[in-house]
Amino acid sequence: MVSRVDLAEVQTAVHQVQREVGTRFDFRGTKAAISMEPREGTLTLIGESDLQLHSLLELVQQRLAKRGVSLRALAIADPVPAGGSTLRQIITVSQGIPADKAKQLQKLLRDNKVKVNAQFQEDQLRVAGSKKDDLQAAIAMLKAQDFGLDLQFVNYR
C-alpha cells in the first residue's frame, strides 16, 4: 500500500497553468505566476491579491484533477506576504505514507481482526496475508475509511 503522485503529471499541469496565466485577461499586466520545484515537490503561487491567488489555486486544482492527480496529496499553506505588494502561497505535494497515518492503518487492520500482517517500511505499508480473500477484505476495509490519503494498492499477489 503506497501513496504516490506522478510528479511528471504535476509538472505538465503546472505548464498548462503557466500558459493559461499568460493568456487570460484577468492575469494580464499583473505579477501572477506559478512555479514548481520538482525535486522538493513544491508549487509556489504568486499573486497580487487573495482573489488572484484563489483563482490560481482553482486553476491548479482543475488541471491536476484532469491529469488524474489526487487533490488529497496537496498540502496548501496560507498565503504570506512576499516582496512588494505580492502574496506567496506554497503547495506541497506529499509523497508516501506518514508514520502516524501508517500506525492508524495498522491499528485498523489489527482491531478488525483481519488475518494479515502489516509492516511499515520507509514510506509504504506492506500488507501480507496467506489468502487472497484476506487481502481483498483488508483492501475493501481501508478503501471504506478516509485517512486523508490517496492510497494505491500495488504488487498484489
pLDDT one-digit tens code per residue, 77-104: 999 898 888 899 999 888 888 888 888 8
Residue 91 neighbours by CB distance under 10 Å: 21
Percent of the chain past pLDDT 90, that is, above it, reads 22
Domains by residue range for the chain, with CATH: 7-93 (3.30.70.990), 99-144 (3.30.70.860)
- Identity at 2, one-letter amino acid code: V
Which has more confidence, 126 or 1? 126
pLDDT digits (tens, 9 = 90+) for 29-83: 888 889 988 788 899 999 988 888 999 999 999 999 998 888 888 888 999 898 8
155/157 Cα distance (integer angstroms): 6
